[in-house]
Structure 1
Amino acid sequence: MNKTQYIVCIKLILALKNKMNNIELLSDNIRDRLRYIEFSLLYKGEISRSDIMSKFNVKEATATRDIKSYSDLSNNKNCFFDSKTKKNRIKETFQQLYNLTDEEALFWLKQETYPNQSSFITYRFKRLSLPEQKALAPITTAIMNKLVVQIKYLSLNQGRETIRKIIPHSIMDDGLRTYIRAYDRVRENFITFSTSRIIESECLPEYQIEPIETQDKDTEWNEFIDLIIIPHPKLLHKNIIEYEYKMIRGELKCTVRKAVAGYFLFAWSVDCSIGDIYLDHQTHHLYLKNIEQLKNIESIKKLAPKKTFL
C-alpha cells in the first residue's frame, strides 16, 4: 500500500467512525424512525413521509427531517426522491446503516399493509385460542407488582374447574399459544398454565408472597439447556433442512429454559423418539440429537413429540 492509498483508507475509516458516532448521538425515537426508513427501503423498495407519519404519529415536518437525516447519514447513496410517485426509492448503491435483526424485520413486515389497502402484506394464521383480556390483565398486573392471584382454571387432568392461588412471574408465547409460569399453592411447585383455560383471575394484594414462591426459586425456569437439533434421520435430502434452518455442520444448537424445552420441541415438531422407532419424517423434519441426555426433563417427558420413551 502506497502513501496515497494509506491516506484514502484512513479517511474512509474516519468517515465511517464519524457516521457511526452521529447515529449514536441521535435520540432513541429518531433512531427507531431511521431504522424503519431503512427497513422500508430494503423490504418495500420505497418510503414516504405519510408512511412515517402514520407509523409513528409524527407531523409532516418531522417525517421530512427524518428522511433527510437518513439520506445524509448514507451520503445520499441509499435513496432518491421520485418526483412521479412522491416517494423516496432505494438506490442501486444502497448499503445498510443498521443491523436489523431477522426478528425485527419480520415483526415490522407483519405490521405492514399494501398501499391504499387494509390487508396485511404477511398473511397470518388465525389463532385458535386466545386468553380473555379480563382474565389476563390481573395476571400481568400481578407480575409487574409481585402480587398473589386467585384464578378459576379449567384443569385438563381433573376435567373440571379448579380454584388456585398462584404467584405468576413470566408470560411465554410459542407463536400459537400463550402460557403463564407461576408458583401454584395447590401443588406447592412452579408449573405452567395455559392462559386460554383461565376463566377468571383476581389480584389479592392482602396476601403475602413467600420467599419460596419467587422467580429466583424457579430452578427449571432459571436453568438453561442446549437442544442439539439435526435433520430427521429418515430424510433423504438432509442438506435442504440444513440450509432451511441455517445449521452449522449439520446441527442447530438452541439454548432454551429447561421449563419450556418441551413446549419449544412441540411447537417445532422435533421428533424426540429414542432408538430406531421414529415419528413420520414427512411431518417431522427435525430430530433431537441429544434426547438421551435430556429425556428425564419434565417438560420434555410430557410434551416433546415422540414415538416412545424407553
Structure 2
Amino acid sequence: MAKVQTERRLHLLEELPRSQRERLFHIDFKLYFLGELRRSDVVERFETGPAGATRDIALYREIAPENLQLDPTTKAYLPTQEFTPLFEHQAQRVLTALSQGFGEGIGENLQPMVRCEFPNALSLPKMSVLAPITRAIHRGKAVRLGYTSVDSGKTEREIVPLALVDTGIRWHVRAFDRKSQQFRDFVLTRMEDPTVLADEPVLSGESAEHDVQWSRLIELELVPHPSHPRPEVVKSDYEMPEGVLKVKVRAANAGYILRRWSVDCSPDHSLRGPEYALWLADPLALYGATSASLAPGYKDPRPESERRVVRAL
C-alpha cells in the first residue's frame, strides 16, 4: 500500500510545473524542519499572493493529506505524527538553508532560519576576482592575471581555469598554467586584475580532459582510528555500520580533503590526538597523487628524486 501511495505521489509531482514543485518543496521543508507553516511563508518567499499560496497548500494537502493539520488557535499548519516528507532533502542543502536562509532577502539581509553558529571564513576572494574566473570556467576561456606565489613572488600569468575547489580553509582554482605547462592549483586571494581572454582559443591539451590528476578518482577506505577509545562512536558519527567508510575523491584534491577531515594517513596509524578519529586503511591508495603530501602523516614510498608535488602555489 505504501509503495503504491509513493508512486502516486511521484506521478502527481512529475506532472506539475517546476515552479509549483518548488513551492511545494518549500512547504514540505517548513513542515519538516521548522514544524509549522503559514500562508505568509509561501507569499513572502515566492510573492504569489494569498490566493496562490492557498492553492499551493491545498494541492500539498491533496497529494499528502496525512502530512499536515491546521491549528485553529495559531492558524498555522503543523506536521502530523504520521508526517513523511514529500521530497528528498539533502543534508548539505538543508543545513545551508537553516544557517544562511532559504533565498529570503538579498545580500547581507540573509538570516538563519534557526539559531546556529558556524566559524567565519578567514580567507574569501574578492568578487571582482571571482567573477572573471567563473566566467572563464563557464565559457571555457583563458585568463591573464597577476599572481603572487610563495616560491616565485609576483608574476604575470595566463591560466585556463577548470574548476573551483574549497579546501575548507580557502578557495583555489584548478587550472592549466601556460607558464609551467602544467595543471596546478591557484589561490583566489593571490590573484590580481584577472582579464578573460575572450578572443583567444584554448588548446585541447589545456582542457580538463587532459588533467590526469583531476580525472583520476581514488577510492579511500576510512576506518575508526585504532587508538580511538570508542570506535563505536566513530562508526555512528560517520554512518559506517560495517566499520568502513568508502569515499571517492579526485587525486588532485585528495590531500586537501584528508587534511580537512583530519584523517591519519600514516602507514602505522601513529598520529595521536582527539582530532584523529579516522585512519586511512590503505595509504598506498594515494600513490601518485600530487596532493598526497598534504595528507596528515602520509609517507611517500617513492625515492625523493621521483616525487613530484603540485599544490596551491
- Are 2:145 and 1:151 equivalent residues in the alignment? yes
The aligned counterpart of 2:213 is 220
1:179-238 CA-to-partner distances (Å, cap 9, x unmatched) read 211100111011111112212211112322111001111121122110111111211211
Provide the secondary structure at the position in 1 that maps to 2:66. Answer: coil
Distance 1:58 1:306, change over 3 A: farther
Among 233, 242, 252, the alignment partner of 1:249 is 242
* Matches for 1:77-96 after TM superposition, within 5 Å: 77-96=66-85
| Distance in 2 (alpha carbons) for counterparts of 1:265 and 1:67 | 45
Give ranges in structure 2 of 5+ residues lacking alignment.
103-109, 302-313
1:117-161 CA-to-partner distances (Å, cap 9, x unmatched) read 955523232100001111111111111111110121120223x22
| Distance in 2 (alpha carbons) for counterparts of 1:14 and 1:130 | 49
- Are 2:295 and 1:300 equivalent residues in the alignment? no
1:57-101 CA-to-partner distances (Å, cap 9, x unmatched) read 432222222111111111x21111223222211111212222222
| Distance in 2 (alpha carbons) for counterparts of 1:256 and 1:13 | 35
Among 199, 221, 226, the alignment partner of 1:233 is 226
| Distance in 2 (alpha carbons) for counterparts of 1:254 and 1:187 | 32
More divergent stretch after superposition (140-149 vs 193-202) = 193-202
| Distance in 2 (alpha carbons) for counterparts of 1:295 and 1:180 | 23
| Distance in 2 (alpha carbons) for counterparts of 1:253 and 1:245 | 10
User: Is the 2:67–2:83 Cα contact (8 Å) retained in structure 1?
Assistant: yes
Among 116, 122, 127, the alignment partner of 1:128 is 122
**Aligned residues between the structures:** 293
The aligned counterpart of 1:18 is 8
| Distance in 2 (alpha carbons) for counterparts of 1:257 and 1:203 | 27
* Matches for 1:13-92 after TM superposition, within 5 Å: 14-74=4-64, 76-92=65-81
* Matches for 1:273-284 after TM superposition, within 5 Å: 273-275=266-268, 278-284=270-276
Shift of 1:55: 2.6
RMSD over equivalenced CA pairs, Å: 2.1
User: Is the 2:158–2:178 Cα contact (8 Å) retained in structure 1?
Assistant: yes
The aligned counterpart of 2:306 is none
The aligned counterpart of 1:102 is 91
TM-score relative to the length of structure 2: 0.86
Distance 1:29 1:166, change over 3 A: same
Amino acid in structure 2 at the alignment position of 1:304: A
Distance 1:245 1:15, change over 3 A: closer
Shift of 1:239: 0.9
Amino acid in structure 1 at the alignment position of 2:79: I
